Every structure is written in structure tokens, then in C-alpha cells.
Amino acid sequence: MTSLPMETAEYLQTEVLMDTRCLVVLLDADGRVTGLECPWGEWPLAALRIGSALPEPLRAVLDASPPDQAVQLYPFIYLDDSQVVDVHVCANGANRQLILRDVSEVHQAELKFQQKAHEVSLLLEKQAQLNRQLELQKVELERASKAKSRFIASMSHEFRTPITSIMGHADLLSRTASDANPPAAIQRASWHLLTLVENLLEEARQGQGTVHLNPAHVDLDAVLKDMAALFGEQARSKGLELRIGASPSDASLETDELRLRQVLINLLGNAVRYTREGQVELNTVFSDDRLEFRVSDTGPGISESDRERIFKPFMRLDETGQSGAGLGLSITRHLVDAMGGQIELDSEPGRGSTFRFTLAATPPGKTPIPHDLEGLRVLLVEDDPDALAILELFLADWGVEVHSASGLSEAQTLAGSQGFDLVISDLNLDEGSGGEVLQAVRALQPECRTMLCSGSGVSSVWREHYGGFADDFLMKPVQPDTLRAAIERVLSDAA
């Protein structure tokens, strides 16, 4: 201590904590180390030796320090990677001293603290982000839940109309044998109810399931008449005019009647519901092998931005004052797609809406002409004895000469030994497939007509896979009229 200049010793006492490791470096005028003093304890620093120059970091501190100030502090100077010191520069005439105070641990702690603080701020930011996301999800969930509750409430409400109608007419029927034709009204109300239930089921499947179609000849006149009766009362009570155009006389339509009715009920139901004044029209036009259905109204119209949105489940544009489940259009589009059509919408706000879709129909020239099936030679390929027996019965009753086979090889043998006018094969056989059978018979008898038959599938899908070698398709279960119609169609096409 004694060799320390007074000012430095005082400064050590008063300013520098007693319990930290300190080293006083005495320097000559050139900045060379002339002495090293440890006021308390040992602190050997390899970089500092008496007689040698200061190591670079300390040299820089000394150079930066103005010579005329008594004491200056330069905190956190790195001597090397791990050794950190606070440097006090004390001036003592021409000679200066450096007091080094070991702050490595403090500095490490500070670094750690800063790192932690940084991490914490990152976490806070992340948490804020998650909170924002949660908030958004909550809003979205509330919206969805509201839409669902509204949907359930209005669905229950919608069920009421047809059920009341059924009950009323049934009551009437039980009291009087009236001429008001209540059974037809009951039937129509049941149709309506069935459609609502079908809508619900379709909704529950959320459009993911394949629509199961049962195509058959549709009595379009009857369907249109039912629509007029079903919505006539509702339209009249709102002061609307309901116009249902006559069906084109030259078109024959084959599709799933239940689905067609479901689509028309959905479209007409919406049109009548949302139109306040004017009229609702349903027209059918036949051209180019397509039958177009057109449902027009003089309602509020739909803006371009809403035109895609209305085809989403549970979506309804006006959430106040209108009854209805706000569904139907998503299902309608799904059903029309499944029937091989495409739904289109023309609308402008204030100018009403027109929904259009087309379905394949038989052209006028190809309307099936009744055939005498007497003596027709048919090869029937079916491996299920139950299905075979009933088909044989139908065919035999029409005077058809039936030969049956249970699989591919048997069919090939028969087709190789005698001629056939028509081959009807089941699609899923134990031995071979219906497709293979038709191809094999075609190869042997190119003039033979072909028909594929199955208990499942959609005719448009069949056409894609088997259209090349099957002239027609028949859905099981087979009824006499559908079988006969299909055979006549095939024979008409050939004629």
C-alpha cells in the first residue's frame, strides 16, 4: 500500500468496493508497467508484467483517456474472452495508474440477465400472438355455433309446415270421404318433409358422401304439377304469382326423381321465401340433348360478392326477418353435380335471381319406340341365383329367349356357340367382371347390344368407366318396367 500514490490509495478506499479483486498498475510516462500492486488478496494476471508494455485493450483505454482528468472509469473492458474488468484511470502528474477491478462474474450475470430478458420478451410476444389467435378462433366458433343454433331452430320450424299439412289432411280424410283429393296433398306434404330430411342427412354428411342415385324414367308433368301444388298456396298467401311452365313434350328424362324433386323444392322454396312481390317462375327447356330447368324470381337479387358464399352450408344472406334454415343451396349444388349437371346463377341486386341447371335427356328422335320383345335372344350373366331367377321370369314373360351364365367363361362358351341380340351382365361377378363379359361377347359378336347391371354406383360414373362397351346401364333392384324400358332404349339406339 505504501508505494501507492496517495490519490490512488484514497480512491481505492472510497470508490472501489473492498471485497472485489483489484490490481493497481503503475505506469511510466511511456505507458510501460513499472509496478503491480494487489491491495487485498492475490490476482495474478498473465497479460501484465513489470517492464513490458500494456496489453492492447488497456493501451486503448489509456490512449482514450484525457491526461488532465483525475479519475476516469471505463467499465466492462475485455482483457480476453473470459476476463472482464472495470478500468479506473488515475492521473498522478506525468505518470498514470490503472486500477483494474475484476467484474467478470458480474458481467457474466448481467449477460445472462439480458439474455433472459430477451427470452422473456420473445415469450411475451409469442403469448400475445397466441392470445390474438385465440380471440379470432373464439369469434369464429361463436359465429359457427350461432349459425348452427339458428339452423336447428329454423329447421324445426320448417318441419312444422309440412307436418301440419299432413296432419290436417289426414284428419280431413278420417272424417270425410271428400272430393278435395286429400291423399295427393298428403303425398305432396310428405315429399316436402322427405326433402327436408334428405337435406339434413346430406348436411350431416357435409357433402363428403357420394350421392346415391337411382335413375329411372321421370314423369316430368307429374313433378311440375306437384311443385305447383306444393308452393301455390305459399305464393298466393304472399301475393306472389307462381308460374310453372309446361314440360317440353319431346324430352324424355331419366334421373333420380327424389333428387330432382329435392333440388326443385330447394330452389322454389328459396325463391318463394325471399321474394316479397312479383312472381316466381319454373320453366323447362329442351335443346341439344339437355333439359334445362330455370327457376326465376323477382326477389332482392344477389350481389356478385355473395354469389359464391350462398352455396356454403348454413349460409343465408339476410339473417333477420326471414324464416328458413339457410341451407339447401350447398346441397342443391352437390346433388345437381351428382346428377351430371351444373348449377348456375344469374342475378343482380334489385333485379331478381335465376338459378339454372341442365340434365341429360333423350332427344325427340330417339324417344324409345315400343318393341315387340318376342323371340329376342338374350344372354343373361348373373351369379346370384335370386337375381337371376327374377330376371329370367320377367324376360320369359315377354317372350324373350333367355340363356343364362354365371360367369365369364360360361358366357364366352355360350357366345361362341350361338348368336345373341343382347347381353345383360351383372357388374360384380364371382368369376370375371361384367365389363370383361361385355367385351368378350362384343369381340365374338360385334352386332350384339350390351347392358351392364349393378346394385350400386352412379350412372354417370359407369358411363365413364364402361361407356366404351356398354350400351346402357341398369340399376338394381330391377323392376319389370325399368328393365323393359332399358331394353327398348338399347334396341331403339341400335335401330
Q: Point out which residues bind other proteins (CB under 8 A).
A: 210, 212, 370, 384, 386-387, 389-391, 393-394, 396-397, 426, 428, 454-456, 476-481, 483-485
Task: For residues 31 and 96, give the distance between their C-alpha atoms in angstroms, rounded to a whole number.
Answer: 8
CB of 476 to other proteins, least distance (A): 4
Which of residues 235 and 408 has its CB atom nearest to other proteins in the complex? 408
CB of 217 to other proteins, least distance (A): 11
Place of cell 511510466: 28
Task: For residues 50 and 44, give the distance between their C-alpha atoms in angstroms, rounded to a whole number.
Answer: 12
Task: For residues 303 and 75, give the distance between their C-alpha atoms in angstroms, rounded to a whole number.
Answer: 70
Omega into 5 within 30° of 0, i.e. cis? Answer: no
CB of 374 to other proteins, least distance (A): 13
Which of residues 118 and 212 has its CB atom nearest to other proteins in the complex? 212
Which of residues 190 and 279 has its CB atom nearest to other proteins in the complex? 190
Going from the C-alpha of 339 to that of each of 4, 200, 486, the distances in angstroms are 104, 19, 18
Which of residues 85 and 483 has its CB atom nearest to other proteins in the complex? 483
CB of 231 to other proteins, least distance (A): 29
Q: Which run of H or of E encompasses 241?
A: strand 241-244
**Strand 71-78 to 343-347 pairing:** unpaired
Cβ–Cβ under 8 Å, residues 197 and 155: no
CB of 328 to other proteins, least distance (A): 23
CB of 260 to other proteins, least distance (A): 19
**Strand 279-287 to 290-297 pairing:** antiparallel
Q: Which run of H or of E encompasses 10?
A: helix 6-15
Which of residues 212 and 351 has its CB atom nearest to other proteins in the complex? 212
Which of residues 391 and 408 has its CB atom nearest to other proteins in the complex? 391
Among the listed residues 184, 160, 161, the one whose alpha carbon sits nearest the alpha carbon of residue 172: 184
CB of 370 to other proteins, least distance (A): 6
Quote the radius of gyration of the chain (alpha carbons, Å): 46
Place of cell 368407366: 465
Cβ–Cβ under 8 Å, residues 477 and 455: yes
Residue partners of 445: CB distance under 8 A and separation at least 6:
415, 419, 420
Which of residues 96 and 484 has its CB atom nearest to other proteins in the complex? 484
Output the nine-digit C-alpha cell for 180: 278435395
CB of 386 to other proteins, least distance (A): 4
Which of residues 39 and 434 has its CB atom nearest to other proteins in the complex? 434
